[in-house]
Structure 1
Amino acid sequence: MSFKPKIIVCGSPAELSGVACKKIVEIIHASERTNWPLSIALSGGSTPKMLYSLLHEEHLHLLKEERALRFFFGDERLVPADAAESNYNMARQALLHDIPEDLVVPVDVGCVGKVSKVACNDAVKSADAYEKKIALLLGTQKVEGMEAEIPVFDIVLLGLGSDGHTASIFHGSQAESEMHRAVSVGFPSPTMSPKVWRVTLTPITIIHARHVILLATGKEKKCVLNGIIADTPTEVPVSRFLRNCKGDVTFILDKEIAGNLTC
């Protein structure tokens, strides 16, 4: 199956953030105001942080007074909400501290203090609770050919790990094979840190989003990117499920990862 996402190659992290910011604002303005707030699932990482800061700097009125977006999280580490490793904490510092509370929908991590105390069953409880919270706010839709009903996000922001994961969908994890739930759990591969349980949107939820925006940088991920895009890749990363996306897919890349898109 041929897969041809829109690919934009940027010369710097600042340019990449600017392109992503423009894309999000274009999606907002292309929608009917009666559909605001649109739903967006945020990603963690240093590259999205620059994007969130830019949204705060240039479009706060649109997001705060005009209430154009409601912010969810594509994945979250089960660490205290004020921890440096928390995706919520990063997004709060960069943008969400000035957004009305009813427009911010964090994962209930259910933990304080030492993160080592968070076990798998705690992660499952957090995932179940977040799935219900999302469904309450967005509703659900029947998935063609399946019994599952899932929420449909307007925008899902994603990153890309050097091991091929996206969100917290790791190879061999429960989330990777989950086909009936919108939210699941994952535990990082041995090369990833921190070693804590995560709550994550599932592939089926990401696949049915109206817009998927992948932000990816670094030459060490070039083969992973090729594994997603190429029809006959030398590597098949877990994130290859993105080839099945039903909506608009945009990859915003730096020059190092883009290259010639072959290993």
Structure 2
Amino acid sequence: MHAELHVHPGPEALAAAVARRWATLAEEAIAEHGRFTVALSGGRTPRILYELLASPAWRDRLPWGQTELYLGDERCVPADHADSNARMVREALLDRLPHPPLFFPMVSDPMRPEQDAAHYASLLRERLGDAPIPTFDLILLGMGADGHFASLFPGTTALEDREAFALALREEQVGHRRISLGRRVIAAARRRIVMVTGADKRAALAEALHEPGSLLPIARLQRQASLEWHVDQAAYPAKPAAGV
């Protein structure tokens, strides 16, 4: 599949570029079908983006009333926990907007991840289910130093699942119990933007972009669906390979 690579000087420049893409994709989606649906990522770099989108320079330029926000993955923790992606989205974005968009967190009961995953899958079918697979206009993804995206980690059963729209993860290696969108839903989105910052991601990024047979989770996704990469200079300091 196609890989579109954009290298930025740092996280702030990366966030500004993705904000511009957000605005363009929102306009296109609303013109086509009346709303803009986005699955959000957690992490440091997305937080910079969300704070930018909520800033005075951006918030009044965006159609929040026709925007719906979801999560790509979440830790099974209370809504006020420091590791909660929903809490981060509220603090960085929603609480800073005069009229915030609809937002659908993943976790209602941290002790029942399977129940919450099933509920989220039903929610996606209900709100995004015109097609056989619920289809987001945009999914924002990060990438870990091990090449994982959302909560689909190397060697986990969730990564191999090709059917579930949302699923609970049991594997001990991922720390907190988690819920993640499945590969099927992520691959079906109209657009996937991957944001990568930091030198610790450099080796995984180089492998994903330049080794066709890589087994990294993000590389496997890239063979399944087109990715639009936005990376900073620390994560990818070399000159992009021709044709990437």
Task: Check conservation: 1:155, 1:209, Cα contact below 8 A.
Answer: yes
Structure-2 change in CA distance of 1:232 and 1:33 (3 Å): closer
Quote how far apart the aligned CAs of 1:164 are: 1.3
Please, what TM-score do these two structures have when normalized by structure 1?
A: 0.82
2:66 corresponding residue in structure 1 = 68
Per the alignment, residue 255 of structure 1 pairs with 233
Shift of 1:138: 1.0
Q: CA deviation at 1:126?
A: 1.1
- Whole-Å separation in 1 of the counterparts to 2:171 and 2:21: 30
Q: Matches of 2:74 and 2:136 in 1, distance apart?
A: 17
Of 162, 187, 205, 1:179 maps to 162
1:38 aligned to 2:63?
A: no
Distance 1:198 1:99 in 2: 31
In structure 2, what is the equivalent of residue 110 of structure 1?
109
Distance in 2 (alpha carbons) for counterparts of 1:109 and 1:137: 18
Aligned length: 238
Report the RMSD for the aligned CA atoms in angstroms: 2.3
Q: Distance in 2 between matches of 1:189 and 1:99?
A: 40
Query: CA 1:82/1:109 → structure 2, altered by over 3 Å: closer, same or farther?
Result: same
Q: 1:138 and 1:100, CA in 2 relative to 1: closer, same or farther beyond 3 A?
A: farther
Q: CA deviation at 1:101?
A: 6.8
Counterpart residue number, 1:137:
127
Identity %: 27
- State the partner residue of 1:208: 188
Task: Note if contact 1:165-1:238 (Cα within 8 Å) is conserved in structure 2.
Answer: yes
Aligned residue number for residue 236 of structure 1: 215
What SS does the aligned partner of 1:88 have? helix
User: Does the aligned pair in 2 maintain the 1:154–1:210 contact within 8 Å?
Assistant: yes
Give 1:241 shift: 2.4
Report matched runs for 1:82-97 at 5 Å.
Answer: 82-97=80-95
Q: TM-score, normalised by structure 2?
A: 0.88
Task: Judge conservation of contact 2:12–2:48 (CA < 8 Å) in 1.
Answer: yes
- Post-superposition CA distance 1:97-118 (Å, at most 9, x none): 237577111113303xxxxxx3
Q: For structure 2, which runs of at least 5 residues remain unmatched after alignment?
A: none
Letter in 2 for 1:9: V
Looking at structure 2, the residues matched to 94 and 242 of structure 1 have their Cα atoms a distance apart, in angstroms, of 28
